[in-house]
Structure 1
């Protein structure tokens, strides 16, 4: 009986400190650049070609990333990013209905959910990871501003083979800094995000070119990018 009590006490304490740590790390990353993500490590380990080991990742502040790229990823990945609380309920319901019909599985991940998955979790489809993704999405939406979520997103996601973040992607695809990206170049990078290993931003294939056209049209419809302000934002 004592063993069982000790066991449950140990489990409770472990879960409690994991909970505390999760909040602390989210608070820290509200200001501190994210130096590395689980995806970078896992993909590097999985890489069998020794010549391709490692990755390119240069963290830069959001203000030095072209507004064109910020708007392009919103228009291509999550058009409700500025107004939702981390989850696109309609997209989730649509994906659920598609999956229920046995159609090809379609995701409904928002930019906030992608940040949660890339920065705090591992790239695996499971109910455990999805539950933790929901938890971390709630935390970052509560603690971070939309600008911070976008800043971490554009500095952490994969934008090419071993290329992570806007600055490394801009240099890799267009030989220029992220601050200098044109609308067309920003749309090209946003167009490959569904599969940055398979697709090329430059030179663009006919498929990526068609996605670029669609994204640039959405950017025109969207208009000027204005992030919402919260009372607790500094």
Structure 2
């Protein structure tokens, strides 16, 4: 009985490996097509200056330029910018579980080795979900800026821009001009001012940004 159980588990593991390898292969074939719209665009073309680019990365994925598309020690429970892109560009319907494994493998072995960090950032800015307003789902920072503030991205003041960045972990819960949004913007400012330690994407909700965790 025990031997049969071991054989069954081995068979299931083999089937999972084969399926995930197939999924990664399919993603690789789609890679150029999925990123073609963003290949010749820069963050500045979208209205993001260098300072605001740094803010986005620092808050959304502090190790973005250093990691390999995923971040250890918890690649299956956290979501980097690269993993977010994979979810948006390679899945029609994303669910937790095996899809998270697939997302992580595609980020690590397909997207990150072949797509520059700048192009990844442009794609993220262009596709990020920024909530729903008047029954319409909003995607991309430019659409978010126009819909929430009636301005282009480059016309936003600092607090308005931070309000968009603040939305990313929970777009509908952290809608601009709400108490939840204002609190998250406050915490973001603590990070930017060096008053709160934030080094890993697992800390993205900034729960650590309290008085007890402020730098001296």
| TM-score calculated relative to the size of structure 1 | 0.62
Cα distance change on mapping 1:16 and 1:191 into 2, 3 Å: closer
The match for 1:169 is: 144
- Between 1 and 2, higher relative CO (CA 8 Å, sep ≥ 6) is seen in 1
Unaligned runs of 5+ in 2: 1-18, 195-216
Aligned to 2:48: 66
Q: CA deviation at 1:210?
A: 2.1
Residue 214 of structure 2 is matched in structure 1 by: none
Mind listing any 5+ residue stretches in structure 1 that lack a counterpart?
1-13, 35-59, 97-106, 222-234
RMSD (Å), alpha carbons: 2.8
Q: Tell me the matched-pair count.
A: 167
Secondary structure in 1 aligned to 2:37? coil
Decide which of 125, 131, 142 is 1:154's aligned counterpart. 125
Q: CA 1:194 to 1:19, structure 2 compared with 1: closer, same or farther past 3 Å? A: closer
Query: C-alpha displacement at 1:32, in angstroms?
Result: 2.4
Given the superposition, is the C-alpha separation of residues 115 and 194 from structure 1 closer, same or farther in structure 2, using an over 3 Å criterion? same
Cα distance per residue 1:207-228 (max 9 Å; x no partner): 321211221343355xxxxxxx
Alignment-derived partner of residue 142 in structure 1: 113
Residue aligned with 2:106, SS: helix
Match of 1:204 in 2: 178
Tell me the TM-score normalized by structure 2.
Answer: 0.67
Residue in structure 2 matched with residue 56 of structure 1 by the alignment: none
Q: Does 1:82 align with 2:65?
A: yes
Kept in 2, the 8 Å contact 1:72–1:216? The answer is no
- Distance in 1 between residues matched to 2:103 and 2:20, nearest whole Å: 17
